[in-house]
Amino acid sequence: MKKLITAILFLLPVSAFAAGGGNFYPNEPANIDLSDKTSLQNGAKLYVNYCLGCHSMEYVRYSRIAQDLELTEEQTVNNLILGDQRFGDTLDKSMNSEQAQKKYFGVDPLDLSLVARVRGEDWVYNYLRSFYVDSSRPFGVNNTVFPQVGMPHILADLQGLQAKSDALLSVEEQIAEAKAVLNDSEASDEAKAEAKEKQHRAEVEMAKLAAQGNMFVQIEEGQMTPEEYDESIRDLTAFMAYTANPVKLESKRMGVWVLMFLFVLLILAYFLKKEFWKDVH
């Protein structure tokens, strides 16, 4: 029993990491609905038009998407399939690996079939909303959820451009000052204690800014309002969550029946046990 409990406790942090654990800001819940076919269809359209140029989904086929999202083959071919790909093909990116490595990014962009399962839906949702202007980066943008990100803000025409707010810059400066003291081997224990408290207060303020939506300021308008963009990113996140686990809804449905079966079996096993043991004194 002790070994079993130890194994479970050991695996808990791993599970949390796999689900995209850890602090990041903003950290609003994605609140996706995998049963909303319209949302998934819009997410598929956004992925094909904005993401598939660089990021493939080699574990997902157009035919399976059509089946699950209630699309006809004609609708799928006309609205989702680009180039010379066919209905039964997987979602292959337009850019070849050599071109990506040597000309654009220095690496081959990741396949995103399972990213929502590895990182977590909330992480994906907030990442796609958190690009900000940063002239020091190769593509002119950075990201608070994924600092020093090495990709362009491909959805900038929809969202527009945003910059860090003065309040966020002030909080980040306080955190940097506190960390400098904490990492200073010559700092006194009293100074480190004060720095730790300062860092805690700044992180609490960071969480407040995120909750209030005051981390960024809009400096260039996009094609969508902030509300429309957030809803579109929710749809895109929902589609990526679906591709990461296409049978999730079916698994939940079957799980209910399995639990009901086990409950009935438990009742039968209980009465069977009583019957076997009724003559034992």
Query: Contact at 8 Å (CB) between 172 and 144?
Result: no
Cβ proximity of 90 and 59 under 8 Å: yes
**Other residues' Cβ atoms within 10 Å of the Cβ of residue 255:** 10
* SS3 call for 52: coil
Q: Do you find a cis peptide bond into 138, omega within 30 degrees of 0?
A: no
200 is in an annotated binding site: no
C-alpha distance across the termini of the chain, in Å? 31
| Nearest by Cα to 127 from 111, 146, 148 | 146
- Three-state SS for 275? helix
CA–CA separation, 248 vs 114, rounded Å?
Answer: 13
Inter-residue contact 87 to 58 (CB < 8 Å): no
Helix (H, G, I), strand (E, B) or coil at 104: helix
- Token pair of 144 as six digits: 């608070």
Give residue 91's identity as a one-letter amino acid code: L
51 labeled binding residue: yes
Whose tokens are 């945003």? That residue is 162
Cβ neighbours of residue 246 closer than 8 Å, sequence gap 6 or more: 60, 64, 68
- Residues annotated as binding site? 51, 54-55
- Residues annotated as binding site for heme c? 51, 54-55
